[in-house]
Amino acid sequence: MGYVDLHLHSTASDGLLSPTDVVREVAARGLRGLSLTDHDTVGGVEEAAAEAGRLGLDFLVGAELSANAPGRSIHILAYGFDPADDGMRSFFRDFKADRLRRVDEIVKRLQTLGVGLTLDDVMDEAGEGVATRAHVGRALLSCGWVREENEAFRRYIARGKPAFVEKMPTPPEKVCELVRRAGGVTILAHPGRDYTHSELARWMEENYDGVEILHPRNDPGVRRSLEQLAEDQDLLRGGGSDWHGTNSGAPPGSQRVPIEWMRAIEGRCAAIQ
């Protein structure tokens, strides 16, 4: 028995703490294990796995991968894949380049709106991590163009706002197939926030291995609906805090994800391999 957190972010992408410190926070909260799921990178996985081993925590390789459909961003939690797989390495390399292209275009659009932000301002926020819109938001805040990070999204960089730029076209079915070829499984991230029940039922049949049931933005009714869907279609169950660091939402362990869900993911990956 015990609990884990399978949705966490570090400074390898848009989190505020290093992979080591994320793992230490998980341990401090009495959890049994975790997966570090940074956006489109496994840059923090080796460090996090080493710290998890030192602290006696179970660790599952993970990442939150980007996909999209017309007018919609789709986030896919990938688990148990081989980070050294050539296909995965190519995906991460291409997305790192595309995220830099995207951030550069966002900055140019902001400048045309009279916002004096530079690409260097954003990259200072990103550090060694993969650049994201969150880093743009933090740069806008640090440079005094907005009063809070959420204002940056509301005014400028959310979908439909004047500085929004889409990521490169990436169909979710291709992402799911890529992960499977690398020995992993895919779970649709925070589905209760973005999708209808009929969409989910169809997508689970076509592409995904599971759904993220326990997420801070999934209300009790959504969780019950997702649990029924998982039972009806024999899906893997996922969950986690989607924590990005200190003072950034629900903390690790807040979602009470049973360690049995992590074991089921590991078992499905073992069957693939």
95, pLDDT greater than 80: yes
pLDDT digits (tens, 9 = 90+) for 19-42: 999 999 999 999 999 999 999 999
pLDDT digits (tens, 9 = 90+) for 148-162: 999 999 999 999 999
- Cα–Cα distance measured from residue 7 to residue 249, given in angstroms and rounded to the nearest whole number: 13
What is the value of pTM for the model shown?
0.94
Point out the least confidently predicted range of 4-13, 102-111, 149-158, 191-200. 191-200
CB 61 within 8 A of CB 35: yes
Which amino acid appears at position 30 of this protein? G
Host H or E run for residue 175: helix 172-181
CB-based burial label for 246 (10 Å; 0-12, 13-18, 19+): exposed
Task: Return the CATH class of domain 3-84+170-272.
Answer: alpha beta
Between 87 and 204, where is the model more confident? Answer: 87
**Helix axis angle, 19-28 to 45-55, nearest 10°:** 30
Task: Return the CATH class of domain 91-157.
Answer: mainly alpha
pLDDT value at position 203?
Answer: 83
pLDDT digits (tens, 9 = 90+) for 166-203: 999 999 999 999 999 999 999 999 887 677 778 888 88
Q: Residue ranges of the domains in the chain?
A: 3-84+170-272, 91-157
112, pLDDT greater than 80: yes
